[in-house]
Amino acid sequence: MAQQTTGHAIEAQGLVRQFKNGPRAVDNVDLYVAAGEIYGFLGPNGAGKSTTVKILVTLLPPTGGRATVGGLDVVRDGPKVRRIIGVALQEAALDPLLTAREHLLLQAGMNGFARRDARARAVELLERVALSGAADRKVGGYSGGMKRRLDLALALVHRPPIIFLDEPTTGLDPKSRSALWDEVARLARDENVTVFLTTQYLEEADVLADRVGIIDTGKIVAEGTPEALKAEIGRPTVEVHPARQEDQARITALLSRFGEAAAASPGTVAVRLERAGALADVVRALDAERLEIANLSLRAPTLDDVFLAKTGRPLEGAAEEGPEAEPALESQEAVVARAVPFNVGATSVAVKEWLSDVRGGASAQTGVPLLLLRDGPLAGQRVGVGARLIVGREGVDLSVEDPEVSRRHAVVYPYEGSVVVQDLGSLNGTWVNGHRITQPTRAGQGDVITVGNTSIEVRLEAQPEPAGNVPAA
Amino acid sequence: MSSGFGQQLRLLARRSIARTLRDPGTVAPAILIPLLLYLVIEAGLTKATSLQGFPTKSMPTFAITLAFANGALSMVGSTGQQIATDIETNFLDRLVLTPMRGAALLFSGLAGTIVLGVIQLAVFFGVGLATGAHVEAGVLGGLVVAAMFLTAVIGFGALGLFLGLRTGSGQAVQGVAPMMLVFLFLSSVIFPRNLISADWFRWIATVNPVSYFVEGMRSVFVFGWDAEALLYGFLFAGALVLLSLVAASAALRSRLARV
Amino acid sequence: MSSSGYFSVARFVAWRNIRVVIRTPALLLPTVLFPLFFLLAFAGALSSISKVLGGQNYTAFQFVFALLQAAGFTGAMGGFAMAEDFESGFMPRLMVTAPHRTAILTGYTIGILGRGVIAAAALTAAGFILGMHLDGSALEIVAMFALAALLTLATTLWSLAVALHIRSFKAAPFMALPIFLLLFLTPVFVPLSQLTGWLHTVAAKNPFTPVVEAGRGFISGDPTDVALSFGILGGITAFVILFALHGMRRAEAAGGAP
């Protein structure tokens, strides 16, 4: 096993990745990670997390800047870098026809283990990730959690001093997530492994990471320990649940005198107070206006507040209102038009759905429902034919109806007056105007985006701020 | 530490063979479809043997080559699909992050193909002989057919690798694979080239290199030892292997090109 | 939702099925190209066979088989379309909102028949280019196409019935394989009388054989097995109609779920 050279375990200076005809997915990123540290790389969909990881693990070359891992340059010393890193990418890259043991033996053998050592290592890792019982079953029958655990084990086979985990707990149930956290924490603590972890979950970064880097649209917007970042914001958030919904607007207006809006659960109003002692003033003001409240709570700043302060919008954005239940066919012509307000951003894109498949082939007949949006405020919702889907700055996750696999297939987000489509590992690909895309690609007025067997047409229109929305910072 | 080329080849070849044999969707069609086509055509065209100039009175002897040829061509789809799946599921990325050498991936991808080819060989010979096919050149001739067939299997498998690596898409591979059937049937596989009366078809069959592959194998069954036919047959198979491997290497290099 | 009666539902569903292939003509390629290719290959490679068949136009002989293949595959693919609609949730939605569910079945059938007409036209044009002669009278040629249409109807209803029973993509092999096998175990290359061995035995018992022979009789101006062929297809159609209606009831009971 190669020794790490001195200096930071991971370092990036002015790292850039510019896609052809696309945006800068990574835009002048500087970061450093000390040896033995757990570094949390936090940001919303499409922020550039996975692209940054791919550059650091030598799967993608940067178009500018430089990066070193273990003191080795990722461009010049690619093969050497690969020997000292373990990687678990966003999609568990497994062969459904092989068993877990066979995966581990293959990985070990490819890394130069002799047969006996490979077998011993496989047994050790299977026990570590609690897969000993299922070791000789084909991976195709594994649950999502089991696959992620195997993925982690495979990353650890050759005892790398540095590991990269790209959204390791996305789609896992709480118990599996917690078990994975325990293992990651143990690796850093007991084996001094450096962990570079990307996530979109605040809690994960908060709980696990020694230091956090927050990335948004390709740029680092904040970096530091979770505590330091939160202390920088320093201001608590008060959340008010009105007793009567019709008072919400008045309460919003009142609270806006005490600070700026913060992320709130549906039906509540939240404000980050300008000073900690302002809580008493808030209560007095509510009382003076005779506004009844059902509940009032004060909470310390979270990483979401940090994100909001730096970018002007919440990381885990709250929807203004949830969409209703699935649309019914309203006419024999089978097109239902229904607006699904969603965004809090200034620019939005209206997306209209199309009945026929532009991909050709037998899988052409489509109807309702088609788009299943995962994550974000519309998580789990189906969108009917003809629905207007308004894409805010945080983007919209597109998925196809696929209960077996919990993952996003593509993301669409606005960028400089058009939209950018990014494939996130959709099995049949994401297509723009009949061309399969491999990199984030711009789509403009009239372009057609296809995911799975669903096609949507892009129509750009400026969206006025809906009443009661949180204004941009 | 790093593994040697031989170890990598062995490990990846083992995986390739396991994948091939464990997937009924690969093995069954590769055996059943050529057999079915052979049986239907052999039985349906018995009358053709009464044509003046038809080289043999035994239709099974004439037609068994169809199964071999069809079997070999089907490797394009099956091998291509495997590598395309590895790309689509990012398994290739996983392999790339090991000290894997490209050549090991390429050659090991053919391991499963060769094993499948050997199974086909056994089944087609078995069924052919059972239905009345006869090898004029005897056991040695049978071995020559096996050699030509397996060479072509490697060639078509490598062609599949090229397709899979180039497109990275299982759907694209499945779209092109039926083209192989076109090459097969627009050849002299179901009728002797010299007896085809439609000039346009005879011309197509003559320029179609698959005809020479077919005629090379068939000569062993029908005529015995025909040096010219054998030469052309082996030339086709050999050229296919060479060109496909070169193309597949180039496609692999460009797919792996990063830093 | 406003209910508009049996014919509106049927018309909507039928038009949807046809519109898809107008927008994406590539969908029809398998049903046209596959038979066309075999027509080309067999008519070309086996052109000498006509010597042992009494000199009849072999292209026309093979055209009939190609036409019936196209008819059969069109029907099978209609079932794929419905299976896809079950998978995407469109069929369950349609079943909930349509006042007459059998209208859905009618709609699919009409739509697929429409596709069959387009496929047959393309194939016929290709046949002429390849040198096919129509030696039958106008009535006989019409009868040949009627036979193909009836076969499309029977295979469409079969595959729709399978789709209704299984309600997912898993149904695809059950739709296509029986049709494929029945077609290829007929006298493909030579008339039944010229076959020997096991294939003769199988083909003689194959209900599709009289259909193929009748079609060839029509195109060559020497009708044969007319009543038998129409009778067989009529009988099969009656059976699959009942099978499909049974499937619709099963689908309703399951709420459209697989």
Residue of B8, B94, B165, B166 to mutate for A, most A C-beta atoms under 10 A: B94
Model confidence pLDDT, tens digit, residues A310-330: 887 777 643 222 233 222 222
Q: How many CA atoms lie within 13 A of B125 on its CB side?
A: 18
On the question of pLDDT at A234 being above 80, the answer is no
Residue in chain A lying closest to B2 (CA) = A112
Q: What is the pLDDT of residue B186?
A: 94
Cα B4 vs. chain centroid, distance in angstroms? 30
Contact B2 A87 (CB under 8 A): no
Contact A332 C16 (CB under 8 A): no
Average pLDDT score over residue span B43-50: 89
Of C4, C26, C88, which has the smallest distance from its Cβ to A370's Cβ? C88
Contacting residues of B for A428, CB less than 8 Å apart = 171
How crowded is residue A137: how many other Cβ atoms within 10 Å of its Cβ? 14
Q: What is the pLDDT of residue B178?
A: 81
Residues 6+ away with beta carbon under 8 Å from C143: C218, C223, C226
Contacting residues of A for C8, CB less than 8 Å apart = 332
Distance CA C9, CA B34 (A): 44
Chain C contacts in chain B segment 67-106 (CB below 8 A): none
Q: Which chains have 3+ CB pairs within 8 A of A?
A: B, C
Model confidence pLDDT, tens digit, residues A181-216: 999 999 999 999 999 999 888 888 888 999 999 998
Model confidence pLDDT, tens digit, residues C203-235: 999 999 999 999 999 998 889 999 999 999 999
Contact C88 A362 (CB under 8 A): no
Q: What is the pLDDT of residue A454?
A: 58
Q: What is the mean pLDDT of chain A?
A: 74
On the question of pLDDT at A107 being above 90, the answer is yes
Give the residue, A418 or B196, on which the prediction is more confident: B196
Average pLDDT score over residue span A267-273: 85
Q: Supply the ipTM of this predicted assembly.
A: 0.88
pTM for the full model?
Answer: 0.74
**Residue B144: left if φ>0, alpha if ψ -120 to 50, beta else—which one?**
alpha
Residue C59 contacts residue C137 (beta carbons within 8 Å): no
Res. A426 pLDDT band, cuts 50 70 90: low
Chain C contacts in chain A segment 411-470 (CB below 8 A): 453
On the question of pLDDT at A342 being above 60, the answer is no
Model confidence pLDDT, tens digit, residues C134-169: 888 999 999 999 999 999 999 999 999 999 999 887
On the question of pLDDT at A101 being above 50, the answer is yes
Contact B91 A429 (CB under 8 A): no
The H or E element spanning position A157 is none
Distance CA A15, CA C88 (A): 43
Give the residue, C186 or C169, on which the prediction is more confident: C186
Instruction: Could you list the beta-strand ranges (E) of A323-369.
Output: 339-340, 347-354
Domain range summary for chain C, segments of one domain joined by +: 3-253
Residue of C80, C84, C160, C168 to mutate for A, most A C-beta atoms under 10 A: C84
Contacting residues of C for A360, CB less than 8 Å apart = 24, 26-27
Q: What is the pLDDT of residue A119?
A: 97
Query: Reduced to 3 DSSP states, what percent helix, strand and coil does chain B have, rounded to the nearest 5?
Result: 80, 0, 20
Of C1, C19, C20, which has the smallest distance from its Cβ to A329's Cβ? C1
On the question of pLDDT at C246 being above 90, the answer is yes
Contact B186 C41 (CB under 8 A): yes
Supply the DSSP string of A182-237, one letter for each residue: HHHHHHHHHH--EEEEEES-HHHHHHH-SEEEEEETTEEEEEE-HHHHHHHH---E
Residue of B52, B191, B208 to mutate for C, most C C-beta atoms under 10 A: B191
Give the residue, B119 or B173, on which the prediction is more confident: B119
Instruction: Could you list the beta-strand ranges (E) of A319-399.
Output: 339-340, 347-354, 371-373, 381-383, 388-390, 396-398
Model confidence pLDDT, tens digit, residues A353-397: 222 222 222 222 233 334 445 444 445 555 544 455 555 544 565
Supply the DSSP string of A94-135, one letter for each residue: --TTSBHHHHHHHHHHHTT--HHHHHHHHHHHHHHTT-GGGT
Of B36, B44, B201, which has the smallest distance from its Cβ to C45's Cβ? B201
Res. A399 pLDDT band, cuts 50 70 90: low
Residue in chain C lying closest to A367 (CA) = C90
Give the residue, A19 or B221, on which the prediction is more confident: B221
Q: What is the pLDDT of residue A272?
A: 81
Res. A1 pLDDT band, cuts 50 70 90: very low
Residue in chain B lying closest to A79 (CA) = B99
Q: Could you tell me which of A89, A94, A86 has the C-alpha nearest to residue A52?
A: A89
Q: Could you tell me which of A359, A363, A368 has the C-alpha nearest to residue A387?
A: A368
Q: Could you tell me which of A438, A437, A434, A436 has the C-alpha nearest to residue A447?
A: A434
On the question of pLDDT at B124 being above 50, the answer is yes
A166's tokens:
């790209």
The answer to whether the Cα torsion of C101, C104, C107, C112 is positive or negative is negative
Q: What is the mean pLDDT of chain C?
A: 87
- Give SS3 for A287: helix
Q: What is the pLDDT of residue A435?
A: 77
Contact C45 B185 (CB under 8 A): yes
Name the interface residues of B facing A (CB cutoff 8 Å). 1-3, 7-8, 11-12, 15, 18-19, 22-23, 86, 88-100, 169, 171, 175, 258-259
Average pLDDT score over residue span A390-407: 49
Residues 6+ away with beta carbon under 8 Å from A448: A354, A358, A432, A433, A434, A455, A456, A457, A458
Q: What is the pLDDT of residue A194?
A: 96
Q: What is the pLDDT of residue B185?
A: 93
Judge residue A29's burial from the number of C-beta atoms within 10 Å of its C-beta, 0-12 exposed, 13-18 middle, 19 or more buried: buried
Window from A50-64, A410-424, B238-252 with minimum mean pLDDT: A410-424
Q: What is the pLDDT of residue A347?
A: 22
On the question of pLDDT at B258 being above 50, the answer is yes
Distance CA C83, CA B239 (A): 44
Q: What is the pLDDT of residue A300?
A: 80
Res. C129 pLDDT band, cuts 50 70 90: confident
Angle, CA of C150, C155 and C156, to the nearest 5° = 95
Q: Which chains have 3+ CB pairs within 8 A of B?
A: A, C
Contact A91 B3 (CB under 8 A): no
Interface contact A369, partner C, CB < 8 A: yes
Q: What is the pLDDT of residue A361?
A: 23
Distance CA B52, CA B190 (A): 16
Portion of chain A with pLDDT greater than 70, in percent: 71
Identity of the amino acid at A158: H
Contacting residues of B for C49, CB less than 8 Å apart = 45, 47-48, 51
How crowded is residue A412: how many other Cβ atoms within 10 Å of its Cβ? 25
Contacting residues of A for B91, CB less than 8 Å apart = 93-95
Contacting residues of A for C24, CB less than 8 Å apart = 356-358, 360, 364
Portion of chain A with pLDDT greater than 90, in percent: 32
**Closest-CA distance of chain B to residue A429, Å:** 9
Contact C84 A365 (CB under 8 A): yes
**Closest-CA distance of chain B to residue A145, Å:** 17
Portion of chain B with pLDDT greater than 70, in percent: 98
Query: What residues form DSSP beta bridges with A224?
Result: A212
Q: What is the mean pLDDT of chain B?
A: 93
Residue of A110, A139, A359, A450 to mutate for B, most B C-beta atoms under 10 A: A110
Contact C1 A331 (CB under 8 A): yes
**Closest-CA distance of chain B to residue C209, Å:** 13
Contact C52 B46 (CB under 8 A): no
Supply the DSSP string of B74-87, one letter for each residue: THHHHHHHHHHHHH
Contact C84 A369 (CB under 8 A): no
Q: Could you tell me which of A51, A44, A82 has the C-alpha nearest to residue A440?
A: A51
Res. C130 pLDDT band, cuts 50 70 90: confident
On the question of pLDDT at A68 being above 90, the answer is yes
Res. C20 pLDDT band, cuts 50 70 90: confident
Of A59, A79, A89, which has the smallest distance from its Cβ to B99's Cβ? A79
Window from A142-146, B124-128, C232-236 with minimum mean pLDDT: A142-146
Window from A67-81, A124-138, B237-251, C88-102 with minimum mean pLDDT: C88-102
Instruction: Could you list the beta-strand ranges (E) of C80-235.
Output: none
Portion of chain B with pLDDT greater than 90, in percent: 80
Q: What is the pLDDT of residue C9?
A: 77
On the question of pLDDT at A407 being above 50, the answer is no
Residues 6+ away with beta carbon under 8 Å from A329: A336, A368, C1, C93, C94, C97
Contact A364 C84 (CB under 8 A): yes
Residue of C27, C34, C42, C46 to mutate for B, most B C-beta atoms under 10 A: C46
A417's tokens:
């007056």
Distance CA C165, CA C19 (A): 26
On the question of pLDDT at A147 being above 70, the answer is yes
Give the residue, A394 or B187, on which the prediction is more confident: B187
Model confidence pLDDT, tens digit, residues A344-356: 222 222 232 222 2
On the question of pLDDT at A74 being above 80, the answer is yes
Contact A107 B93 (CB under 8 A): no
**Residue A24: left if φ>0, alpha if ψ -120 to 50, beta else—which one?**
beta
Residues 6+ away with beta carbon under 8 Å from A10: A31, A32, A33, A39, A56, A67, A68, A69, A70, A162, A194, A196
**Closest-CA distance of chain C to residue A382, Å:** 11
